[in-house]
Every structure is written in C-alpha cells, then in structure tokens.
C-alpha cells in the first residue's frame, strides 16, 4: 500500500475503490499517482475530504458510495514531473484524509479551483484587514512563486527574480 505512479488508470480490487479526483480529468497519457487514503471515522459517503499527496499537492475528493469511516481507498492524482513520480513511488504508507469545515462556502466542489476566489472587503472593514496584512507580511520568497520571466527553474527560496533585490523583485507588502 502507499502511493505509486502509473501511466494507466488504476483498476480497483474488491476492497479498494478509486475515488474521483483531479486525475480523472487528465488526458489519457498523463501519468497519475495513486495514493492509499484512510477515511476518518465518522465520515460518510458523499462527504468532501482533503488529503496531501506525497508530492505536496492537496487533493479534494468525495467519499464514494458504499465507503464508510475507517476504510482505505485509492485516490488518483496527476503527476506533472519525473521528480513527482519518484516521490510518489517512494511513499509506501497510508495517508489520512481531513474533513473540510461544512461552513466553507466552496466545500461542495470536488476540486481546489473553487477556492481560487477573490472576495472584496467592505470599505468600513478595510483598515482592520490592512492592519492584519501589514502585521503578518514577511519579505520572503518561496519556491511556489514562479519566475515572472519564465527563465528560472523552481528552487527552494525562489529564483533570483523574485528576491527583494531582484527584477521585478518581491512585493513590499499587500494592499
């Protein structure tokens, strides 16, 4: 058990079910990883859960029909590089899924794209939010910030272009 890369659709056995995930929408030739996921006790079919794959990607999926809390299911996810495939193949354990709070507006959607939403703050609350942003901002680049020129590879700490003295540099704050 664990996470494994595969170029083909994984066929689930009688005790393992493949839950729908972002990989289900991937093209037929795109490699996918399969991760064994422990469903939390108390979870029920149709409920949306979240899990972090060994590659670091966060996945959302709905518990398939007939699956109850405590079960282990296989969840597929897309692999975008050879290093992600290598990370998936090294992982041998079962990962634990987490409940998403019911009060989250977008929890009903089965992919994380629904969480990419801009929300405007009412003008009377802007000062409070600006204080929060000012008090928590750190001038630190991370590898999740892509090179704005597309010329530098992804690396820990971010590329030279997104450093405070880079071109175009790092934002000096948020507003």
Sequential DSSP letters for the chain: --EEEESSPPPP-TT--EEP-GGGGS-TTS-EEEEEEEPPTT--TT-EEEEE-TTS-EEEEEPPTT--TT-EEEEEEE--SHHHHHHHHH--SPEEPEEPPTT-TTTTSSSGGGG----PPPGGGHHHHHHHHHHH------TTS--TTS-S---TT--GGGSTTSSS---S---
**pLDDT for position 128:** 93
Average pLDDT over residues 158-165: 86
Average pLDDT over residues 167-173: 83
Q: Model pTM?
A: 0.48
Average pLDDT over residues 30-59: 85
């Amino acid at each position: 058990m664990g996470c494994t890369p595969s170029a083909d659709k994984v066929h689930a056995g009688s005790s393992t079910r493949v839950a729908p995930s972002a990989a289900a929408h991937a093209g037929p030739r795109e490699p996918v990883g399969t991760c064994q996921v422990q469903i939390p006790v108390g979870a029920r079919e149709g409920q949306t859960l979240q899990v972090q794959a060994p590659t670091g990607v966060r996945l959302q999926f709905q518990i398939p029909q007939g699956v109850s809390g405590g079960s282990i299911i296989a969840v597929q996810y897309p692999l975008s590089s050879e290093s992600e495939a290598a990370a998936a193949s090294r992982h041998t354990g079962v990962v634990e899924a987490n409940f998403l709070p019911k009060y989250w507006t977008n929890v009903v959607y089965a992919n994380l794209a629904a969480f990419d939403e801009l929300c405007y703050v009412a003008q009377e609350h802007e000062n409070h939010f600006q204080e929060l942003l000012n008090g928590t901002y750190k001038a630190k680049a991370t590898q999740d910030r892509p090179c704005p020129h597309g010329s530098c590879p992804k690396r820990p700490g971010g590329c030279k272009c997104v450093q405070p003295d880079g071109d175009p540099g790092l934002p000096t704050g948020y507003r």
